[in-house]
Structure 1
Amino acid sequence: MRITQILRSKLKDFSNLPKEYIERSKRQVYWETPKAVNYLPRTIERKKFRYTTNRSWTGQFRQQNLPNTIRKKVFMQPIEEWSYFRGDRVEVLVGKDKGKQGIVTQVIPERNWVIVEGLNWHYRQVGKDEDFPGIIVKSEAPLDVVTGIRLVDPSDLQGCEFEWRFTEEGEQVRVSKRTGRLIPIPEMNNQTHDYKSPAAYVERDKDTKAATVGEITFTPKLCTFEMDIMEEMGIKEDREAHKSYWY
């Protein structure tokens, strides 16, 4: 597969936030004086963003992608089907923690990155100022999923190669090539900001009821607005249109 740049975002699959909210948070529209002779300014919307460990709906992401800022392009090998999820046990293949195993806590498919809890960490200085020396915090650095990690087989807790297969019920699952054992997607991947698991969700008084959300309130028809009104009021059209001729 040739090296190319990923142009589309996959955040909608992993953020557990509405797609409209993410797109609205990322959107940057500003005014610019046109180069040609024109009395009206034109609007420009940013299309290319620099993705890092900061999620696109946060203020840190917007700070790194301020208007009129150009950052160096990042070229990477695209992955057709993402196969790593939060909660997976993986083995590190590079760095000082080579050979150690850990749990994936964050996935960043825009850069082919995952962050493993407690591994591949480093110290960084935060809040340094003229009057304040700052503080030292411990932070995990991202790992590349192509060259930096591999999944762990749950049967023997050893790193393995895997592939996607289909069960008899038609469900797509990950299977270890060495032992043939299924590698299920962890329950941690289903956790959201509202609940730890879908089964544990409890409807509140101010929440919209599930029955109301699933109720069908619109039936598509091949009718105009006027025709719908006439049908509701019981008005029948008995007039005949005059013939017209086009020459």
Structure 2
Amino acid sequence: MPNYLPREVKRRRVRFTTNRPWSAEFEKQNQFSHRNRVYVQPIKNWLFFKGDRVEVLHGRDKGKQGLITQVIQERNWVIVGGLNWHFRYIGKGEDTRGMLVRSEAPLLVTNQVSLVDPSDDKLTKVEWRYTEEGEPVRVSLRTGRIIPLPFAAEETHDYKDPTSYLENESKDTKAADVEAITFDPSLKTFEMEIMEVMDIKEDRVPKKSYFY
């Protein structure tokens, strides 16, 4: 079992939040959890990215539009800035009163939000298609227009724009080294591979065994 998973993940009753399962915040929130596990059907062709404009289809903010500020693909969640929010206390203890903050709750991309066509700012269903050059693009099924990927979707912790990233030759791993195939899979067991490397011949005949 990987060591980065907290002990609570192995339980049957887990509270899944916006924190990643390997983080300390997730472990803290699951110290005394009594919620049922939620099984998520992975989405093969993901369509929602940070910076997309979507319309909320569920809750008190139904019909309102906003920009996606965070994507949690492991749970089919997106967080829309300024929508579907609630107040919660943080830092509350015996000696402190804590502080009331506003927090956006996640929304399911399957039935609670829908992408907006930038040509007329109306919601639409979207699917992946290919251009004549073979480049995948998102296309609105209602208008047939291409919905480009937002600029915010390319941002990472290292750069705002991929073209502006400068590699450090002494620290960064080269792309060719990452893409190189260094493992040759085989049907041999670990013991068989060691024997082959050490040139050990097996001449013993195993005894007959029966499963009944």
Q: TM-score range by the shorter chain?
A: 0.7 to 0.9
Q: Distance in 1 between matches of 2:25 and 2:101?
A: 17
The answer on 1:59 being equivalent to 2:24 is yes
Deviations 1:69-111 (A, max 9, x none): 7641224555332221111111112222222211111112232
By how many angstroms is 1:64 displaced? Answer: 3.1
TM-score by length of 1: 0.63
Structure 1, unpaired ranges of 5+: 1-22, 30-44, 228-247
Q: Distance in 1 between matches of 2:183 and 2:92?
A: 60
Select between 109-118 and 75-84 the one with higher mean Cα deviation.
75-84
RMSD of aligned residue pairs (Cα, Å): 3.4
After superposition, residues 78-157 of structure 1 pair within 5 angstroms as 78-157=42-121
Q: In the alignment, what sits opposite 1:190?
A: 154
Deviations 1:19-69 (A, max 9, x none): xxxx6533659xxxxxxxxxxxxxxx9387653211234211122345x97
The answer on 1:25 being equivalent to 2:4 is yes
Q: In the alignment, what sits opposite 1:230?
A: none
By how many angstroms is 1:194 displaced? Answer: 1.3
The answer on 1:170 being equivalent to 2:134 is yes
Q: Distance in 1 between matches of 2:65 and 2:101?
A: 22
Q: Distance in 1 between matches of 2:109 and 2:142?
A: 19
Q: Distance in 2 between matches of 1:89 and 1:55?
A: 24
> Given the superposition, is the C-alpha separation of residues 95 and 207 from structure 1 closer, same or farther in structure 2, using an over 3 Å criterion?
same
Q: Distance in 1 between matches of 2:131 and 2:90?
A: 49
Structure 2, unpaired ranges of 5+: 185-195, 200-212
1:161 maps to which of 107, 119, 125: 125
After superposition, residues 197-212 of structure 1 pair within 5 angstroms as 197-204=161-168, 206-208=170-172, 210=174
> Given the superposition, is the C-alpha separation of residues 95 and 213 from structure 1 closer, same or farther in structure 2, using an over 3 Å criterion?
same
Q: Secondary structure at the match of 2:172?
A: coil
Q: Distance in 1 between matches of 2:51 and 2:106?
A: 15
CA contact (8 A) 2:54 2:115 kept: yes
Matched residue pairs, number?
A: 190
Letter in 2 for 1:54: N
Larger radius of gyration: 1
CA contact (8 A) 2:57 2:111 kept: yes
CA contact (8 A) 1:52 1:111 kept: no
Letter in 1 for 2:167: E
Q: Secondary structure at the match of 1:115?
A: strand
CA contact (8 A) 2:47 2:126 kept: no
By how many angstroms is 1:206 displaced? Answer: 4.6
Q: Distance in 2 between matches of 1:79 and 1:217?
A: 28
